[in-house]
Amino acid sequence: MQLPPELRGRVYTCIFENERNWESGLLLATLKLPSITRASKTIRKEALPQFYAEARIHTPVRRQSVRDVARREGGNDDYGFPPESDSGNPHLKQKTKQCIRAAGEDARFKDLTFIVCDEWHNYYLKRSASTDEILATLHLQVQKGKLKIELEEGAKYAEIVERDGDEWSIEYQTVDYHAAMSDVRTKIDEIGSRRDFKGFSLNDILQIAKAFRYTGSKEE
């Protein structure tokens, strides 16, 4: 700890880079603190904010509108739809949630990637999904206090899936998709416009994930 602050910061970065999956991105649901934070309370206090700020966090979420479209087309629960509460849920382990909350203001994330899939896929415990099974990828990055937003449409976007033997189909409608993304963008803009915004807190991330619960038009 006798090194100057700037040099200590570089040392922490080098240590973080040796953490498993650091380059490919860390999964929020099972996020663990780097071993150096257990060295001492002093090092933990100094290294923890840097870890949260530099970590590239992946947050897979499911989107709910596929169920509502299917039901309007004649689908029902017999087709194996997941529980409604699952949509927009990043599935954080309780210990992970407690650890992040315990860090308080030190836990400010600056590099987030939301991977949006439909409810037929269990990707909340994976950092990525097959390209053709992604509805959208949302990347949020805070650089020098400014928020950069990138939204990429996935191959699953606007795809129509027909199931053999059924007289109905599940459709990812473009109008519904853009409306859902609009709700998410509104929430992001609300968070990013705060006067004291320095990065995303855990509550911010959960609010953004919840915004993906958009259920589309209720018109029959």
Distances (CA, A) of 43 to 51, 53, 98, 100: 12, 16, 20, 17
Express each pLDDT in 110-152 by its tens digit: 999 998 876 655 554 555 566 667 778 899 999 988 899 998 8
The reported pLDDT for the residue numbered 79 is 45
Model confidence, pTM: 0.77
Residue 200's DSSP bridge partners are 109
d(CA 193, CA 150): 17
Q: Residue 129 CB: number of other CB atoms within 10 A?
A: 19
When comparing pLDDT for 213 and 115, which is higher?
Answer: 115
Strands (E), the chain: 26-27, 57-63, 111-118, 136-143, 146-153, 160-162, 169-171
Residue 205's Cβ-count burial label (10 Å; 0-12, 13-18, 19+) is buried
The residues, ordered by sequence, that sit 6+ positions from 178 with a Cβ below 8 Å of its Cβ are none
d(CA 53, CA 62): 25
